[in-house]
Amino acid sequence: MPSDLWSFAVHFYQREGIEEACLQLQEAGADVCLLLAGAWLGQRGVAFATERADCLRAIATPWQAEVISPLRTLRQAWRARAQTDEALGGLREQLKALELSAERQLLLRLESAAQAWPEDEARNTQLWLWGLADESGSQAPEALRRLREALGD
Instruction: Give the model's pLDDT for residue 138.
Output: 77
Residues of the chain with pLDDT > 70, as a percent, come to: 98
Tell me the whole-structure pTM to 2 decimals. Answer: 0.92
Contacts of 109 (CB under 8 A, 6+ apart): 59, 60, 63
Phi, psi (5° rounding) for residue 61? -60, -50
Taking the chain (153 residues) in runs of 10, the rounded mean pLDDT of each run is: 87 94 92 96 93 97 97 96 97 97 98 92 85 82 92 78
Instruction: Give the model's pLDDT for residue 153.
Output: 65
Cβ atoms 56, 37 nearer than 8 A: yes
Instruction: Give the model's pLDDT for residue 36.
Output: 97
Nearest by Cα to 134 from 36, 13, 25: 25
Instruction: Give the model's pLDDT for residue 114.
Output: 96
- Encode pLDDT of 120-133 as tens digits: 777 788 899 999 99
Mean pLDDT of the chain: 93
Number of Cβ within 10 Å of residue 17's Cβ equals 12
d(CA 86, CA 54): 43
Contacts of 151 (CB under 8 A, 6+ apart): 12, 39, 42, 43, 125
Cβ atoms 149, 16 nearer than 8 A: no
SS3 67: helix
Instruction: Give the model's pLDDT for residue 25.
Output: 94
- Encode pLDDT of 133-153 as tens digits: 987 777 888 999 999 999 886
